[in-house]
Chain A
Amino acid sequence: MKWRLLIWSFLYCFATEAQGIDPDLWRIKQRMDSILQFSANLKLNVDISFINMPAKYARMNYTKGKPVKFSSEDFVMIPKRGLDFSLNSLMEFPFITVPRGEVARNGKKYKAINIIPTDNRADFSIALLLLDLQHNRVAETEINTKKDGTYNLLLQYENSSKILPEQVEVNFEIEKIRIPLNFMGKDTDIDRKKMRSEGPKSGKIFLQISNYQIRY
């Protein structure tokens, strides 16, 4: 009986440890947390089949512990995911991490881990992160949200020492809208159900981030 209890205790401790926070992720998170504040210029290019929009410019401001703020003289569409470099939105509520081995991208190997929230308040069900252990930063993220579909983020850095990305490609699902021609004209009814009948489409946003001003 004592042996059995001992074995169960060992297995429980092992399992808890295995489902704790990945130390590499934790290290990257701590590196990100060393940034107290940053601001940068943002150039947004939208690639969605049913949207024609010229490049837009904005300024982004981040203060640790607060949501990222954007300001622009233009009308800009900021993707809901992709600009939280601090990983705060993924780690806001309790979670576990599950290692998924190594994944190769463009000849480089990255550590893949899943983040699975254990709290219902989290707005995503699972996230996959590819960690660049050599440079202590995130290379790619795939977030399956509960309400807003899947987001895939590809992050590119100016050089090996940079902590914040210079280019971010955000891939996401979006529903096609269908509105009759001259929708703004007279005698035109708008059928919302019909508008959404085509199903989801994929969209991309290319973010170019420059002129970082970082305070540690």
Chain B
Amino acid sequence: MKALIHAELYKLLRQSKTWYALAALLLIEGVILFSAYFQGKNILDILLDNLKRSFYFEGSLLNGNLLVYLILNTLWFHLPLILMIIVSGSLTAEYKDRTLQTMLLQPVSKWKFILSKYLVAIGFTLAVVGLLAITSFALSYSLFGKGDLIVYINTLNFFPSGDAFVRLQYAFASGALSMIFFSVSSLTLAVIFREATKTWIVSALFLILSNLLLKVDFGNNIFNRIFFAKLNDTWQNFFYFNINWTMVYTNSLLLCGYSLLFMAIGIVLFHKKDIG
């Protein structure tokens, strides 16, 4: 199993599209950062508009913490899209190049082979989210400094800089679970569709639908709470003034459960399907 994981990791890092994807993500992050800077000015103007009647403000809210928060808001759509292309591509490319057949001619168990792909996909996703978290903080803080974070979620919430930093880290960790879910589901879709273009289209559709369904009220509280699309917004819980940890833990466990379910479906289907 360890050898399989090493081999999968080697293949992932050897393929040029992985590095193109990382470069694309860093480029997107830079663009988001600068657009967030101008978006941030407008948002602060709106948020503080009526407060200006009663207060003078001392200190700036347009700082690195606000920009990381704005990056987070935009990142959770672009990032899974690129992750899904890379992760699903790791299997569809093997179908296309027929390396899968060569691989499975060796004394390798099918389920171990696909499980190693899932594990590498999860590791890769975590590494990418970690890289983006580090670069987001480094770029935002070095260019725009630290300061209080202002967030509007039903109420205007102000978080001191240290508290904001901790909450943003939690948000990245929570977002990583969503990214793992999308990476895992794209690999399962690759098992089902085999062909790269079809898999990418279905994966993109899955991501878009998940984003659209996030805002839909299904009229049933339980369904609204446990439906997978609704769980991808869990990271926002860290920006309520009082964090609802029960909801965070429940949502995170559910998201892990969905990821395991999709993984199990993928492993079973791969095991049953003929490779040829």
Q: Which residues of A contact B (CB under 8 A)?
A: 49-54, 58, 70-80, 147-149, 172, 174-175, 177, 179, 181-186, 190, 192, 195-196, 203
Contact = CB atoms under 8 A, between A and B. Distances in A.
Contact of B50 (A52, A73, A190, A196): A196
A44 to B, nearest CB: 10
Contacts of B160: 54, 74
Contacts of B51: 77, 174
A179 B258 CA distance: 32
The number of chain B residues touching the other chain, given as a range, is 35 or more
Nearest to B240: A52
Contact of B61 (A49, A75, A80, A192): A75
A141 to B, nearest CB: 15
User: Interface SS of chain B: helix, strand, loop or mixed?
Assistant: mixed
16 contacts: A50-B154, A50-B155, A52-B158, A53-B157, A70-B56, A71-B58, A75-B158, A77-B57, A77-B58, A80-B54, A147-B53, A149-B54, A175-B53, A183-B43, A185-B74, A186-B73
User: Interface SS of chain A: helix, strand, loop or mixed?
Assistant: loop
Nearest to B158: A53
Interface in B44-67: 46-47, 49-51, 53-61
A77 B57 CA distance: 5
B213 to A, nearest CB: 14
A147 B152 CA distance: 26
B152 A179 contact: yes
Contact of B158 (A49, A54, A147): A54
Contacts of A190: 46
Interface of B: 39, 43, 46-47, 49-51, 53-61, 69-70, 73-74, 77, 147-148, 150-158, 160, 233, 236, 241
B60 A75 contact: yes
B59 A72 contact: yes
Contact of B73 (A49, A70, A75, A185): A185
A35 to B, nearest CB: 21
B58 A174 contact: no
A41 to B, nearest CB: 14
B73 A172 contact: no
Nearest to A81: B54
Given A72-B59, A74-B59, A179-B46, A186 B54 contact: no
A78 B70 contact: no
A149 B58 contact: no
